Amino acid sequence: MKSEFQQKNTAHHFQPFSDNKELAEKGIKLISKAEGVYIYEDNGKKYLDGMAGLWCVNIGYGRKELVEAASQQMTELPYYNLFFKTTTAPATNLAAKIASLAPAHMNKVFFTGSGSDANDTNFRMVRRYWDLKGKPTKKTFISRKNAYHGSTVAAASLGGMGYMHEQGDLPIDGIVHVDQPYWFAEGGDLSQDEFGLKAAQSLEAKILEVGEENVAAFIAEPFQGAGGVITPPDSYWPEIKRILAKYDILFILDEVISGFGRTGEWFASEYFDLKPDMITIAKGMSSGYLPIGGVIISDKVADVVIGEGADFNHGYTYSGHPVAAAVALKNIEILESEGIVDQVKSEISPYLQQRWQELADHPIVGEARGLGMVAAIELVKDKATKERLAPNAAGGGVCRDYSMDNGLIMRSCGDIMVISPPLVITKAEIDELIEKAKKTLDDTARFYNL
Ligand code: PLP
């Protein structure tokens, strides 16, 4: 018998990215509070949040300073728009702060409400750029298979997830996809570096196929997040950089997950030594305390799109929302003043990655990989042949459910299990995460009689 609350949820709540019928049958967990790296169900069950919510609570839960920043801003000025030759102090101050942390050639920030509409902004801004440059044929975007760039029409089209394209007749025209650098599943007999080069060269082949004069931009995540923490081989990004330098196309780096410290740098563009024209941001920008996203824009693009005689007819009611911006600013100030990003680089991410590698010894793990504060394991039945644990990636759901039983939130991306914990996680909490992950793998192996 479902509780009254469960029934209300089933009757009225259409949940995103969920099997709503399964939720109706099996019930749903009600998360009611959180502190540090832990979240709690209303029945008191405690979970170590290995996913920082949805890759976003970089600063951890329960920071009172963010609550105070929101409360103060809400009292003074809960809302005002940026359209009427007006701005607000939080929007301007946040733009300046982000520009100060971004690569030197990027000095402008356009605010949105989320990562999806930030990528829609990129879509329109890139096409506007080429129109203004007098090259209107440059309209095609090249993205990667298995990428995730959001759920709006343009963002889902830019993404490379087959199961999203199947619905709503996507991608829209003008978006094509190239290979992802997913060595474990697609590398075959090639070494990591050979495969990294091959995957990168699929970009060049596509540019030649479409015609340089028709290609507007290449968009990619520094490492694919929702695709299963696909970390590129060392050879991949240098080759992409070579190709991008050769052809006249813009480069959008989607740092919605990687931005604001997740790699141990403020932005992964620094981690991988990349020079994008646009960087998509959201999530860790406010540590998820309030919704906000944006695009960091290079001088090269800004000088054209809002340069002499130009304009860009685009914006959102909640662009730079003052309360969200005030919270994001406070979040960034704390990440900076407490040295959290530096700490991730020098101590916490090396420790996390070192301990995570222990999982590679487990009989149902084909590979353990990661960088910074993200990591993944591949679930297999047979380490040597890489045969997947179960048909249709069902092993991921089984493993995720055991993980929850064991008080650890891991996400299943198909049958790849991933983590992306708050950046403030301690070494003792990492130890707890690893022990719970090991127990979860044992439980999953037992379920499959392995
Ligand atoms: N880009 C990347 C790389 C993401 O991981 C996500 C969300 O997970 C998005 C864009 C979309 O962001 P949002 O869900 O805030 O619209």
DSSP string for 242-286: HHHHHTT-EEEEE-TTTTTTTTSSSSHHHHTT---SEEEE-GGGT
Euclidean distance between CA atoms 147 and 165, whole angstroms? 12
Total number of residues shown for the chain? 450
- Ligand 1 pocket, 150 CB below 6 A? yes
Give the pLDDT of residue 2.
83
Distance 382 CA to ligand 1 centre (A): 33
Angle at 420 between CA 372 and CA 99, to 5 degrees: 65
Q: Which atom number of ligand 1 is nearest to the Cα of residue 54?
A: 8
Over the chain (450 residues), the average pLDDT of each successive run of 10 is 89 92 89 98 97 98 98 98 97 98 98 98 98 98 98 98 94 98 97 98 98 98 98 98 97 98 98 98 98 98 96 97 98 98 98 98 98 98 96 96 98 98 98 98 97
Q: Ligand 1, from 119, 283, 316: best to mutate by most atoms within 8 Å of Cβ?
A: 283
- Cα of 254 vs centre of ligand 1, distance in Å, is 8
* Domain limits, CATH 3.40.640.10, in the chain: 66-337
Give the Cβ contact number of residue 104 at 10 Å.
Answer: 10
Q: Indicate which atom in ligand 1 lies nearest the CA of residue 114.
A: 15
Task: Give the per-residue SS3 of 379-437.
Answer: EEEECCCCEECCHHHHHHHHHHHHHHHCCEECEEECCEEEECCCCCCCHHHHHHHHHHH
- Mutational pocket test of ligand 1: of 257, 290, 316, the residue with most ligand atoms within 8 Å of the beta carbon: 257
The pLDDT value given to residue 373 = 98
Q: CATH 3.40.50.720: does it fit domain 4-62+339-447?
A: no
Establish whether residue 177 lines the binding site of ligand 1, counting it when its CB lies within 6 angstroms of any ligand atom.
no
Q: How far is the CA of 283 from the centre of ligand 1 (A)?
A: 8
As a whole number of angstroms, the distance between CA 100 and CA 108 comes to 10
102 CA to centre of own chain = 17
Best of 111, 112, 149, 229 for a ligand 1 pocket test (most atoms within 8 Å of beta carbon) = 149
CATH of 66-337, one of 3.30.1330.90, 3.40.640.10, 3.40.50.970, 3.30.70.1290: 3.40.640.10
- The pLDDT value given to residue 22: 87
Amino acid at 171: P
- Global ipTM: 0.99
For residue 120 and ligand 1, the question of a CB distance below 6 A is answered with no
Residue 62 DSSP one-character state: -
Quote the longest CA-to-CA distance of the chain.
Answer: 69
- For residue 27, what pLDDT is reported? 83
Instruction: For residue 431, give the nearest of 400, 397, 408, 399 by alpha carbon.
Output: 408
Angle 208-224-368 from CA coordinates, rounded to 5°: 125
Give span(s): CATH 3.90.1150.10, the chain: 4-62+339-447
**What is the distance between the alpha carbons of residues 440 and 403, in angstroms, rounded to a whole number?**
5
Token digits of residue 178: 């190239």
Cα of 190 from ligand 1 centre, angstroms: 31
Report the nearest atom of ligand 1 relative to the CA of 152.
Answer: 16
Report the separation in Å between the CA atom of 350 and the middle of ligand 1, taken as the mean of its atom positions.
26
pLDDT in the model for residue 303: 97
> For residue 311, which phi and psi values (nearest 5 degrees)?
-145, 170
Measured in Å, residue 55 CA sits from the centre of ligand 1 at 9
* pLDDT of 91: 98
3-state DSSP helix/strand/coil percent for the chain, to nearest 5? 45, 20, 40
